[in-house]
Amino acid sequence: MTTTSPDLLERIIGVAPDSPLSNLRARRPDIVRHTQGSHDVLLCPADPGGLSLSERALIAAAVAEAAGHAALTRHYRQLLAERGDPPQGKRLDTIRQHVERVATAPRTALPAHIEALCAVGLSGRDIVALTQIVAYVSYQVRAAVGLALLAEGAAA
């Protein structure tokens, strides 16, 4: 990733470089760096392994939508549109169901759900990557919401 690539979270919130929020975030440089870095390795990995780039974008869009974040939902749907839909079928259905569960009711997960993902061809790495994407977008939504409120306050 190049250092000139714009920070996704600030783009989503709609703050300019050198704005009060951007300067506030700059006091926590490791958070800024690894929030973007986590996005990059989960959504745009050089080697996606057995979880395709399309599937990754679809998962992220589903999590943003379930959390009700319009701007992030648009962002990830656009990414999915660029990459094309993954093939329909049992594999995608199983992935979708698990993503919904982890996003909205993580306490209901069971070992059988991991076995179901293995049964449709996901490896241990793919399952961890899927879970990390759901967990990351759940983080990203809440960070974006809280930071947007701070930006609103600074603008008022």
Partner 1 sequence: MKAARFTLEAVDWAPWLEPVSAETATPAQRTALEASPQAGSAYFRTLAHDVESLAERSPLFHAVMYVPRGLKRAERELATVVTSIVNGCIYCSSVHARRFVELIKQPEIIRALYEEGLDTKLAPRLRAIVDYALKLTREPAAMTAADLAPLRAVGMDDLEIHDLTNAVAMFANANRLMQTLGEPALPDDATPRAAA
Site string for partner 1, 55-94 (x = CB under 8 A): ------------xxx-------------------------
Q: Compute the distance between CA of residue 32 and CA of residue 85 in angstroms, rounded to an integer.
A: 30
**Residue 140 near partner 1 by CB under 8 A:** yes
In contact, 141 and 64? CB cutoff 8 Å = yes
Separation between Cα atoms, residue 130 and residue 122, nearest integer Å: 10
Rounded distance between C-alpha atoms, residue 84 and residue 88, angstroms: 12
Least separation in angstroms between CB 41 and partner 1: 4
The binder of partner 1 chosen from 37, 87, 100, 120 (CB under 8 A):
37
What the block records as the tokens of 122 is 């996901």
Segment near partner 1 (CB under 8 A), from 10-18, 76-84, 86-94, 127-135? 127-135
**C-beta atoms surrounding 83 within 10 Å:** 15
- The token pair that represents 63 in the structure block: 């999590």
Binding interface with partner 1 (CB under 8 A): 20, 24-25, 27-28, 30-31, 33-35, 37-38, 41-42, 45, 49, 67-69, 101-103, 106-107, 109, 111, 113-115, 118, 123-125, 127-129, 131-132, 134-136, 138-143, 145-147, 149-150, 152-154, 156
